[in-house]
Structure 1
Amino acid sequence: MPLTDSNTPEGGQPKLRPSCEDAKPPLDYFALVIGIDSYKNIRPKLAGAVADAKIFEKLLLEKLVWKDNTHWMGHIQMLCDGEATRSAIIEKMRALKDNEQIVKDKTAIIIYYTGHGGRATTPESWTDWPGTDGHIELICPVDAQSKAATNCGTASGPWVESIPDRTINYILQELSAAKGNHITLIFDCCHLAGMTRAANDDGTTVERSPVDTLTISAECDVDIVSLDRGDSIKRTYSSDEEHKGFCASWDTHVLLAACATDEKARERDGQGDFTRALLEVLERVPIVKLTYKSLIKSLIMPPNLRQTPHLDGKHINRCIFTLFEEAVADSMTDCDSLEGPDSTTLSLHAGLVHGVVIGSRYDIYDVTDLPKLVPLVTATVVSVNICTSKLTLLEQSPIGNKFTPTSGLDNIRCCARLSTISHFELLVYCNELDFSTLRPVFEEKQDDKVKLIYPLRRADSPAKADICLEVVGGKILFSRGETNSFFNEESHHVTAMNPYNFFPTPRKLLPSHLPHQPPSDDINGIRQFLNHYFHFTYYMSMQSSVDLGCLVSIEMFQLKRDEKDNFHVVDGQNMLSNLHRQGYVKIPVATTGSLDKARSSNEAFRYGLTIQSKSEKKLYLHIFCFDPSTLDIDVVYSNTVAGNCLDKGSKVSFGLDNSMIQPIVFSLSEEQEVDVQCIKMFVTTEPVDLRCIVNTLVKATEKSRGLGTDHPATLEWASKVIPFLIMKVTQSQDVQTTRSISSWNSPSLGLSLCHWQLDTQLIGGNTDLCTVVFKKIMNFFMSFINVKNL
């Protein structure tokens, strides 16, 4: 079996790895597979869990195959029945981080568990752990004991607790830091204990939850997650979203679960319903054609049962067990037929909050064949609600004249990707009078690899352009134009503004060009950057008609660390209190260099952020970082799970209240004196996936509309942008004011990447002058920003 690179994309050739006689070869995947039927102290015993584990093992051995039919190099550890003790499960999971054959960001780590699962009351002293309704989730090892068995004297051996989600998440955080977030967690078990069989069961099904009450002590796994150790772990790992249960560490792994937290996982005829559905899809569809999202969408569960497979994690759009295709899938949106298999009308799971516009065109794809990116048909948007839209297939589609969404797909649904946006154009100025070099960029052909999603129109001067292109020495230089044609004053909470006065700052104070400089004959690269620029500007400009301050209050504080490494507010002053008057937040930075350097420095300033609900409705918070230099957009925090909403008075805290979400830290590069960064907050009254906003040039040809979920038109949403001025200071200077939003543990938010650097010779280190110049710069941003009171 050849040793292959586990990240070779579908269609590429596996790369032979160098061998070493003194070391074991690196692996493409490592799987820990656990199945338990014969519980010692928990009722009922199961009949299909061990069989499920063995079938899953067989599937990995047979299906993890490259395109040239060579198998992935892997290793599978099995723990079945008596082998799957509490100590063995934890030992095997923790040993993964020290396994030299598991290569960071290369080897896929798969953890599959099938058996009993349940819930228990969260110990009061676990202030570091965000439980759901006062409960934690558990998996039950073979030797776990229930309260009933102990009280009745039927328990065998010493007291053994189940394994709580808290323990598993801390282990996964350690593992992710050591080996990368290429981790898949698959659980075929219940998350709700103490329930009886459903009334509609036919007697052939068994629930994978114990009938006895489970309990967890406050001292459970103190060697793994003591508060002091927990604080240390939290400062080392990223947690972009305060998810709960087995996916509290949102960025460390992808979770596939048999059911939601308030549902039951069942087995029948010697096999789990979830595992049966999972294996059916994996047997039928090549693994290289499936993302985690499309896999869950393709599962066919038994009818008339309340068991909905659950998917969670930041990277659900990766191809399963690999690291590629995530950027492509991020740009895809679910869609379904509205009126049966022969209907020409589709429902798009995205709407106004995702930026969908009537008249825009979407290409329709088979969700099980995304790597090929061959669309089946094209449709146009005919109506838009808050988070759903209606599409109609084009009568004379350039791809095909007749299309049935479910024909030939065996109940696997389709998805859509934005092809051409309507009602917007990107105004482009070029220094070439005859436009000869860039004419091919405008004149598209059917077989072009990269197409313009956003129509272009020539502008006759930089003052009338969104973006300027200069042909210099065989390269294309990009710079910002002096207008923003996306801005619609009527749809924003901005008053007394000239919508065309966006960039009055003297250009010598700013970088003359954006960093991307493709060759002048690289038509695809130029189009890709123009799509990228449009996407950034479009979502930066997009605002809601609802004032965010009506739904939430926002506070930001400087923090200090005590002798136990806990963080406390310095002086209680809300650093956002003057945002409505000043228009930005000033962030002094004492530590220069990389963001990793700032994280490890005791001298780096940290900040806490609190967003508290003021609404009677359930709220869902999303925070994105907009980098005006790289034009990248990344998620800081996103809440897409129904059980993780903000009720009235509840709050999300960064770095405060022992939250799993980290304090905020900033960094400047050694050569920078001043920098600019913005965050944009969205609040919705239903869980909505806004992953479509994320934007990067690293892997994607573009980022367009996203993976929305279907919700009623009564859903409301609001948004707000907060800009930050980041300034270099010395330790002797007063640093009582603010800092910017970059999750302490999120490398993608490294503020050192920003290059809105002011000329230090012109500024001369004068802080007041920096502020004056920044106010001029912010005239550009204020075109986008709602500057009302929080």
Structure 2
Amino acid sequence: MTMAQITPQNEAGAVFALIIGIDDYLATEHFPPLRGAVNDARAFEQYLLDSHDRRGLNVPLPNILLIENRQATRENILSAFKSHLLENRNIPDRGDTAMIFFYAGHGTRTEAPGNLIAPDSKVEAISPVDEGTIDAEGNYVHPIPDNVLGWLLWELAAKKGSNITVIFDSCHSGGMGRDTGTPRARTSLSPPIPPDLDSHLWTGGTEIAICYRIWSPSTATHVLLAACREDETAQEVVLKDNSCRGRFTERLITLLRRLPLEHTTYADLVASLPIWSGQNPHCGGARRNHLVFNANHLWPGQKFLPLLPDASSDPSGLQTYSVDIGSVEGIVPGAEFTAFSGAKKPLCVLVAHSARVNRTILIKKGTERIDIPEGARVQISDWMNGGMILRVYITPNFPYEKELFTSTLASSQQRKHTFIRAPSVEEADILLRTEADEVVLEHLGGIMGESRFQRRFSLGEKGAHLPILVDGIAHFKYFLERHYSGVPFADFQLKMHRLRGEYPAREPDLGFGDGGNLIRNMQARFVPDKDACYGFTIRNTSNIDLFPYLFYFDPQKYTIQLWYAPPGKKIPPPLKSRGGELTIGMGGERAFKFWIPSGEKSSCGILKLFVSAKYLDLDWIQQTTSPLDSSFEGTGRLLAEHEPFDIGVEETWDALNVFLSLTADEDLAREVEATLKVSKSANSSGSTPEGSWKAH
């Protein structure tokens, strides 16, 4: 190809892709040649081009930009990303167009720039074809580090939408070799990356924030499909026709052609890959449970989980199944799940035989013989957990009494409520009454009841929405108050920092809080500042490596956002034992920002940190649409008359809550500011840091 072709064409479509494949590097003394990277890139392009009859995506050729070998220079890769994706006028702004960035070639892990906060002071990077050479201006050509790619992905998501898929078939793609003898990886011999390299990309830019007042971690921008973990090698294989391919890409394309993508999520796709020794592909990103190359969930508004055959068998000889959800989410023995085929057809009811921290074993309910096909999913139809019940008291003559307590759903949507009517105010969790044309919701019990939190909203003629709204509040309340009922097993701490410096070198400002930590007595109080950026540190002082999950609960909207989750199931625990730390919103990640909505004087929110010794898929806990919104479609529900079961799990986990409050009141603001700007010596007392959770 010629450089004139590295421009967007005037034909729009649902998919745009930038594909890069490099076999032959210019610095041959540092980069052993590969055999299958270009083949992988061409095969992926062909999959995109093929018609639906050939099990392809039928993408118009102008929507695909393929760069191979000598054309894949550092300058050309960055330029192509901007021209073909970021600045492409044929991709609608803030839409649902699928955008794919595919890379096959060498990967590397190199020293982080001195101004960048990074684990082990290392960054993952992809190697352009000219890495290790001297460019026309006499400058050394460095790899493209993950913080640069991350920034570009942030810009792309902010401008064009977050339906972005990143595919890496290279070693060290697990953080960001191949082997038939040549691994797609190398130990970097490059000099340290200069701190100001690529700074023109973000210099003069503005911070971006979204409607829930804080920008989430980088995994919110895209889904990553990686060939291997950071400590593994990506293998190449020789096919029957004697061609060489990357094992990951070859199997990935085979699955993409075979699986029904209209029913397949990214997580399903990677879970369907074979298990290889020394190479564990993984899927990361907040949207990993969305449909492949699609902006939507499998069945929007409802929580469906993949159903897998279980290798073990029940002593009675019954076929058992498993689902990746467990006691942390509130599953107890006896909970019921409805199984569905890919066409959303109900098949049968399954019952939880046992529930562990991250996995539940299911058996069929009843004796009728029903075949459950591959790719079936389940929805929780009856939690059988009395702890999830929200007790609702309504005042006399409440106008929506009939809709709330005698509502029925269409047979295709028969689910059970997570609330019951409370006989008195003293026995209620929430109270509902009306004032003028508004419904007033008052919290009486639990965390939000401590402050008698109230919310007002109008229903008008939409009284039928009230049961679904209350279900959403029950979901919010249950997971906000979810805690481990046994003795806490881990010492862990959540810190919140006001940051100083500029991207990608932001770090905690030690002049705010105790040693830079704003959390005191499990609370963080601060004042609005349009220039202030914030980040978090999770610290593990236990003897166990942990998987952390950070959620944000918005009590104004009853929404739940997942701000951090481990990259994937096959990745080692990211929070190491004995003092291991994990940072969020610092270094190469976008920082968090807070502000108060127009016309209001204060705002609040709650951070909830779960930790577990085992990987948990907690993505489905999210409630991204407010129950107060008429488009909210509800969550799984529960019949009230069932008795609760005991959990009885073997593994343990833990959780903590931190309350955030933001105020614009001038007098209180001065008080908060004075409290935050404490002396650096205030942390010398040797007391346990606030925001921590200590084992009893």
CA deviations on 1:550-582 (whole Å, 9 max, x unpaired) are 5123444556669998762225536979954xx
Q: Is the 8 A contact 2:265 2:289 kept in 1?
A: yes
Q: For residues 62 and 440 of structure 2, what CA distance do their matches in structure 1 show?
A: 46
Q: Which runs of 5+ in 1 are unaligned?
A: 1-22, 151-156, 199-204, 243-248, 488-501, 590-597, 706-711, 740-784
Please say which of residues 339-348 and 54-63 is displaced more in the overlay.
339-348
Q: Does 1:128 align with 2:116?
A: yes
The answer for the alignment partner of 1:768 in structure 2 is none
Q: Does 1:292 align with 2:266?
A: yes
Shift in CA distance, 197/736, structure 1 to aligned 2, threshold 3 Å: closer
Q: Does 1:110 align with 2:100?
A: yes
Q: For residues 387 and 651 of structure 1, what CA distance do their matches in structure 2 show?
A: 23
Q: Does 1:466 align with 2:429?
A: yes
CA deviations on 1:199-224 (whole Å, 9 max, x unpaired) are xxxxxx455525x6432322469441
The answer for the alignment partner of 2:36 in structure 1 is 48
The answer for the alignment partner of 2:21 in structure 1 is 35
Superposition pairs of residues 634-645 of structure 1, within 5 angstroms: 634-640=561-567, 641-642=571-572, 644-645=574-575
Q: Is the 8 A contact 2:439 2:456 kept in 1?
A: yes
The answer for the alignment partner of 1:573 in structure 2 is 514
CA displacement at 1:144 relative to structure 2 = 3.8
Work out which of the residue numbers 153, 171, 175 in structure 1 matches 2:152: 171
Superposition pairs of residues 495-534 of structure 1, within 5 angstroms: 503=449, 511=454, 513-515=455-457, 517=459, 519-520=461-462, 522=464, 525-534=465-474
Q: For residues 733 and 257 of structure 1, what CA distance do their matches in structure 2 show?
A: 48
Q: For residues 404 and 635 of structure 2, what CA distance do their matches in structure 1 show?
A: 22
The answer for the alignment partner of 1:62 in structure 2 is 50
Superposition pairs of residues 174-213 of structure 1, within 5 angstroms: 174-191=155-172, 205=180, 207-209=182-184, 213=187
CA displacement at 1:387 relative to structure 2 = 1.8
Q: Is the 8 A contact 1:240 1:638 kept in 2?
A: no
Shift in CA distance, 54/701, structure 1 to aligned 2, threshold 3 Å: same
Q: Does 1:78 align with 2:66?
A: yes
Q: For residues 34 and 73 of structure 1, what CA distance do their matches in structure 2 show?
A: 15
Q: Does 1:652 align with 2:559?
A: no
The answer for the alignment partner of 1:5 in structure 2 is none
Q: Is the 8 A contact 2:162 2:221 kept in 1?
A: yes
CA displacement at 1:679 relative to structure 2 = 1.7
Work out which of the residue numbers 90, 98, 103 in structure 1 matches 2:87: 98
Please say which of residues 610-619 and 624-633 is displaced more in the overlay.
610-619
Q: Is the 8 A contact 1:241 1:639 kept in 2?
A: no
Superposition pairs of residues 735-774 of structure 1, within 5 angstroms: 735-736=672-673
The answer for the alignment partner of 1:310 in structure 2 is 282
Superposition pairs of residues 642-681 of structure 1, within 5 angstroms: 642=572, 644-653=574-583, 659-661=587-589, 664-681=592-609
Q: Does 1:422 align with 2:377?
A: no
Count of residues in Structure 1 that have an aligned counterpart in Structure 2? 631
CA deviations on 1:311-345 (whole Å, 9 max, x unpaired) are 11111122222211267498333442224799532
| 2:34 match: secondary structure | coil
TM-score by length of 2: 0.77
**CA RMSD of superposed structures (Å):** 4.3
Shift in CA distance, 450/207, structure 1 to aligned 2, threshold 3 Å: farther
Q: For residues 608 and 324 of structure 1, what CA distance do their matches in structure 2 show?
A: 29
CA displacement at 1:159 relative to structure 2 = 6.1
CA displacement at 1:47 relative to structure 2 = 3.5
CA deviations on 1:138-169 (whole Å, 9 max, x unpaired) are 333334459xxx9xxxxxx9964443333322
The answer for the alignment partner of 1:495 in structure 2 is none
Q: Is the 8 A contact 2:36 2:246 kept in 1?
A: yes
Q: For residues 374 and 78 of structure 1, what CA distance do their matches in structure 2 show?
A: 41
The answer for the alignment partner of 2:238 in structure 1 is 268
Shift in CA distance, 724/317, structure 1 to aligned 2, threshold 3 Å: same
Superposition pairs of residues 362-761 of structure 1, within 5 angstroms: 362-366=337-341, 369=342, 372-395=343-366, 401-405=368-372, 407=373, 409=374, 413-424=375-386, 425-431=389-395, 438=402, 442=406, 444=408, 447-449=411-413, 451-454=415-418, 456-469=419-432, 477=439, 479-480=441-442, 482-483=444-445, 503=449, 511=454, 513-515=455-457, 517=459, 519-520=461-462, 522=464, 525-545=465-485, 551-556=491-496, 568-570=509-511, 572-573=513-514, 579-580=520-521, 584-589=523-528, 601-602=530-531, 605-607=532-534, 609-640=536-567, 641-642=571-572, 644-653=574-583, 659-661=587-589, 664-697=592-625, 701-703=633-635, 715-730=651-666, 733-736=670-673
Q: Is the 8 A contact 2:430 2:443 kept in 1?
A: yes
Q: For residues 61 and 263 of structure 2, what CA distance do their matches in structure 1 show?
A: 19
Q: For residues 430 and 786 of structure 1, what CA distance do their matches in structure 2 show?
A: 39
Work out which of the residue numbers 129, 134, 154 in structure 2 matches 1:142: 129
Please say which of residues 571-580 and 337-346 is displaced more in the overlay.
571-580
CA displacement at 1:76 relative to structure 2 = 0.6
CA displacement at 1:185 relative to structure 2 = 0.8
1:588 partner amino acid:
V
Q: Is the 8 A contact 1:137 1:164 kept in 2?
A: yes
TM-score by length of 1: 0.69
Q: For residues 213 and 463 of structure 1, what CA distance do their matches in structure 2 show?
A: 66
1:294 partner amino acid:
D
| 1:626 match: secondary structure | strand
2:225 partner amino acid:
L
Q: For residues 481 and 506 of structure 2, what CA distance do their matches in structure 1 show?
A: 40
Q: What percent of counterpart residues are identical? A: 23
1:733 partner amino acid:
R
1:356 partner amino acid:
I
| 2:251 match: secondary structure | helix
CA deviations on 1:606-641 (whole Å, 9 max, x unpaired) are 555443222122123222111222111112333354
Q: Is the 8 A contact 2:490 2:694 kept in 1?
A: no
Shift in CA distance, 61/376, structure 1 to aligned 2, threshold 3 Å: farther
| 2:65 match: secondary structure | strand
The answer for the alignment partner of 1:331 in structure 2 is 303
Q: For residues 73 and 476 of structure 1, what CA distance do their matches in structure 2 show?
A: 55
The answer for the alignment partner of 2:331 in structure 1 is 356
| 1:259 match: secondary structure | coil
Q: Does 1:224 align with 2:198?
A: yes
The answer for the alignment partner of 1:758 in structure 2 is none
| 1:126 match: secondary structure | coil
The answer for the alignment partner of 2:641 in structure 1 is none
Shift in CA distance, 127/639, structure 1 to aligned 2, threshold 3 Å: farther
| 2:474 match: secondary structure | helix
| 1:477 match: secondary structure | strand
CA displacement at 1:24 relative to structure 2 = 4.6
1:345 partner amino acid:
T
| 2:548 match: secondary structure | strand
Q: Does 1:252 align with 2:221?
A: yes
Q: Which runs of 5+ in 2 are unaligned?
A: 1-8, 638-647, 677-690
Shift in CA distance, 546/220, structure 1 to aligned 2, threshold 3 Å: farther
| 1:31 match: secondary structure | strand
1:517 partner amino acid:
L
1:110 partner amino acid:
I
Q: For residues 528 and 430 of structure 1, what CA distance do their matches in structure 2 show?
A: 16
